[in-house]
Structure 1
Amino acid sequence: MAFLLLLLALLYWAFPLLGPLFRYGLPDPRGLDRPLTLLVYGVSPEYSDHHQRAPERFRGLADTVLLVRLDPGANRAVVLSIPRDVWVDLPGYGWHKINAANPLGGPELLKAAVAQAVGVEAERFVAVSLNALYAFVDALGGVRVCVEKPLRYEDKAAGLSIDLKPGCQVLDGKGAEGFLRFRHDALGDIGRIQRQQAFFQALKERVLSPAGLLRLPRAVAQAEAHVRTDLSREEVGRILGFALRRPELVSLLLPGRFGGGWQVDREALLELRALYFEGRAWSEEASLRGRTVALVYGPSAEGKAEEVAERLRALGLRVWKRPLEADPPRTEVLENGPGLLARALGEALGVPHRVSGEALLGADLTLRLGP
Structure 2
Amino acid sequence: MRRVALFLLALALLFGVWAFPLLGPLLRQGAFPNPFGLKEPLTLLVYGSSPEYSGYHKRAPERFRGLADAILLVRLDPKANRAVVLSIPRDTWVALPGYGWHKVNAYSPLGGPELMKQAVEQLVGVRPERYVVVSTEALRKAVDALGGVRVCVEKPMRYQDRAAGLAIDLKPGCQVLNGEEAEGYLRFRKDALGDIGRIQRQQAFFHALREQVLSPAGIWRLPRAVAAVEPYVRTDLTREERGAVLGFAMKRPGLVSLLLPGRFGGGGWAVDREALGRLLALYFQGEALGEEATLEGRLVALVYGPGQEALVEGAKERLRALGLRVLLHPVDLVPERTEVLENGPGALAEALGEALGVPYRVSGEAVLGADLTLRLGREGLPR
TM-score of Structure 1 vs Structure 2, range by shorter chain: over 0.9
Corresponding letter in the other structure for 2:7: A
Aligned length: 371
Cα RMSD (Å): 1.1
Corresponding letter in the other structure for 2:215: S
- Residue 3 of structure 2 corresponds to none
TM-score (norm. length: structure 1): 0.98
Provide the C-alpha distance between the structure 2 equivalents of 1:88 and 1:324, rounded to a whole number of angstroms: 34
Say if 2:365 is the partner of 1:369.
no
Say if 2:220 is the partner of 1:214.
yes
**Superposition deviation, residue 305 in structure 1:** 1.5
Provide the C-alpha distance between the structure 2 equivalents of 1:306 and 1:52, rounded to a whole number of angstroms: 55
Residue in structure 1 matching 2:313, options 288, 306, 313: 306
Corresponding letter in the other structure for 1:101: Y
- Residue 128 of structure 2 corresponds to 122
Question: Sequence identity of aligned pairs in percent?
Answer: 73
Per-residue CA shift, 1:116-174, capped at 9, x if unaligned?
A: 11000000000011000010000000000111111111112211111111111100011
Provide the C-alpha distance between the structure 1 equivalents of 2:86 and 2:37, rounded to a whole number of angstroms: 22
**Superposition deviation, residue 31 in structure 1:** 3.5
Residue in structure 2 matching 1:83, options 79, 83, 89: 89
- Residue 38 of structure 2 corresponds to 32
- Residue 108 of structure 1 corresponds to 114
**Superposition deviation, residue 298 in structure 1:** 2.1
Say if 2:335 is the partner of 1:328.
yes
Corresponding letter in the other structure for 2:363: S
Alignment map for 1:1-371 (pairs within 5 Å): 1-22=6-27, 23-260=29-266, 261-299=268-306, 301-371=308-378
- Residue 381 of structure 2 corresponds to none
**Superposition deviation, residue 300 in structure 1:** 5.3
Which has the larger displacement, 40-49 or 16-25? Answer: 16-25
**Superposition deviation, residue 48 in structure 1:** 2.0
Residue 88 of structure 1: SS of its match in structure 2?
A: strand
**Superposition deviation, residue 5 in structure 1:** 2.4
Residue 42 of structure 1: SS of its match in structure 2?
A: strand
Per-residue CA shift, 1:79-126, capped at 9, x if unaligned?
A: 000000111113322110000001000111100100011000000000
Residue 30 of structure 1: SS of its match in structure 2?
A: coil
**Superposition deviation, residue 6 in structure 1:** 2.3
Provide the C-alpha distance between the structure 2 equivalents of 1:302 and 1:315, rounded to a whole number of angstroms: 20
Residue 348 of structure 2: SS of its match in structure 1?
A: helix
Q: Does the Cα contact within 8 Å between 2:37 and 2:240 map onto a contact in 1?
A: no
Provide the C-alpha distance between the structure 1 equivalents of 2:49 and 2:314, rounded to a whole number of angstroms: 45
**Superposition deviation, residue 52 in structure 1:** 1.8
Per-residue CA shift, 1:7-43, capped at 9, x if unaligned?
A: 2221111000011222232211214111100000111
Which has the larger displacement, 12-21 or 49-58? Answer: 49-58
Q: Unaligned 5+ residue runs, structure 2? A: 1-5, 379-383
Provide the C-alpha distance between the structure 1 equivalents of 2:81 and 2:228, rounded to a whole number of angstroms: 28
Which has the larger displacement, 246-255 or 18-27? Answer: 18-27
Corresponding letter in the other structure for 2:322: L
Which has the larger displacement, 167-176 or 45-54? Answer: 45-54
Q: Does the Cα contact within 8 Å between 1:167 and 1:327 map onto a contact in 2?
A: no
Corresponding letter in the other structure for 2:176: V
Provide the C-alpha distance between the structure 2 equivalents of 1:91 and 1:101, rounded to a whole number of angstroms: 12
Per-residue CA shift, 1:306-354, capped at 9, x if unaligned?
A: 1111111111111111222212221110000000000000000000011
Corresponding letter in the other structure for 1:359: A
Corresponding letter in the other structure for 2:14: A
Provide the C-alpha distance between the structure 1 equivalents of 2:209 and 2:112, rounded to a whole number of angstroms: 28
Which has the larger displacement, 102-111 or 241-250? Answer: 241-250
TM-score (norm. length: structure 2): 0.95
Distance 1:10 1:221, change over 3 A: same
